[in-house]
C-alpha cells in the first residue's frame, strides 16, 4: 500500500496551483508538481517538502503532448498511481474585441486551457479507470458560464472546460473515478498581470474596490472536494467574491 495519496498539479509555480500544492502537502498528500519554469517551481517544491510532503517536480509545458508523454513515462513506479489530478494550468491573454484580438494570444489560450487539459486527462485518467479509483479536478471559471465584454476567446476556453468536465464525468461514471469543475470568480493572483502582458497598473485595477478571492480560497474548495467520502462527488462549485454576483456584475466601493 502507498505511504500517502499522490496529487498531480499542473501550473504549480504560482497562484491557484501553488496554493493547491501547499494545501495538499499540509493535508497529507505527496505531490507531483509541474510548471514551465524550473526556477519558479523550485521554491514551491521546497515549501511543500517543509510541510512534510514528498515532491516530484516535473518541468514541461502542458501544450506539448509528446513532451508531456515522455515526462510522465519517466515517472518512477512509486509515483505512477496518481490519485488526484488537478488541471490548473491556464491563462487569459488580452482583453480585446473578438474581431480585433491577437491570433497568437488565441492560440496560446486554446492550446493551454483546452488542449493542455486534454493532454493530461488522456494520459492519466486511463490508469484511474483501470484502478477504479481517482479524482480529476479541473480549474474552470465563472467566465465559462457566460461571456463578458472583451472576454470572448478566454470565456470560450472555460466554457470548453465545463463541457469537457461534464463529458468526462459521464465517460467515467461506470467507475469510482470522480470529476469536479471548480469555477472561480475574481481571484487575485498573477492572472491579470499575465492577461495584460505585464502591465501591473491595469492588473491592479481589476481588483480595485472589492476584496477578491485568493488562491488559498480555491485550494480550500479543491481539498474539500478531494476529501469528501468516496460515494460523494462534488461535481461543480462556483466560487465568487462576496460582492461579485457573476462574471460581469461586480459591486465596487
**Which positions are catalytic?**
154
How many helices (H) and strands (E) the chain has is answered by 9, 7
C-alpha cell of residue 97: 474585441
Q: Is 106 left (phi over 0), alpha (psi -120 to 50) or beta?
A: alpha
Q: Residues, the chain, total?
A: 253
Cross-strand bridge partners of residue 7: 31, 84
Distances in Å between the Cα of 109 and the Cα atoms of 63, 155, 208 are 10, 10, 25
Quickly tell me which residue has 469537457 as its cell. Answer: 164
Amino acid at each position: 500500500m502507498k505511504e500517502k495519496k499522490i496529487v498531480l498539479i499542473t501550473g504549480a509555480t504560482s497562484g491557484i496551483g501553488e496554493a493547491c500544492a501547499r494545501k495538499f502537502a499540509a493535508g497529507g498528500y505527496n505531490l507531483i508538481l509541474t510548471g514551465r519554469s524550473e526556477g519558479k517551481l523550485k521554491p514551491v517544491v521546497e515549501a511543500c517538502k517543509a510541510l512534510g510532503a514528498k515532491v516530484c517536480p516535473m518541468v514541461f509545458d502542458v501544450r506539448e503532448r509528446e513532451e508531456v508523454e515522455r515526462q510522465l513515462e519517466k515517472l518512477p513506479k512509486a509515483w505512477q498511481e496518481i490519485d488526484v489530478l488537478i488541471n490548473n494550468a491556464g491563462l487569459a491573454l488580452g482583453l480585446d474585441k473578438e474581431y480585433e484580438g491577437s491570433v497568437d494570444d488565441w492560440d496560446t489560450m486554446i492550446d493551454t486551457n483546452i488542449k493542455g487539459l486534454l493532454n493530461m486527462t488522456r494520459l492519466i485518467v486511463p490508469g484511474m479507470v483501470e484502478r477504479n479509483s481517482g479524482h480529476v479536478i479541473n480549474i474552470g471559471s465563472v467566465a465559462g458560464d457566460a461571456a463578458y465584454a472583451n472576454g470572448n476567446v478566454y470565456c470560450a476556453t472555460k466554457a470548453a472546460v465545463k463541457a469537457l468536465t461534464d463529458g468526462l464525468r459521464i465517460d467515467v461514471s461506470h467507475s469510482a473515478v470522480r470529476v469536479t469543475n471548480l469555477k472561480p470568480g475574481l481571484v487575485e493572483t498573477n492572472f491579470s498581470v499575465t492577461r495584460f502582458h505585464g502591465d501591473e497598473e491595469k492588473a491592479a485595477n481589476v481588483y480595485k474596490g472589492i476584496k477578491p478571492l485568493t488562491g488559498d480560497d480555491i485550494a480550500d474548495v479543491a481539498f474539500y472536494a478531494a476529501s469528501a467520502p468516496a460515494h460523494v462527488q462534488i461535481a461543480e462549485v462556483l466560487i465568487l467574491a462576496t460582492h461579485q454576483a457573476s462574471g460581469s456584475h461586480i459591486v465596487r466601493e
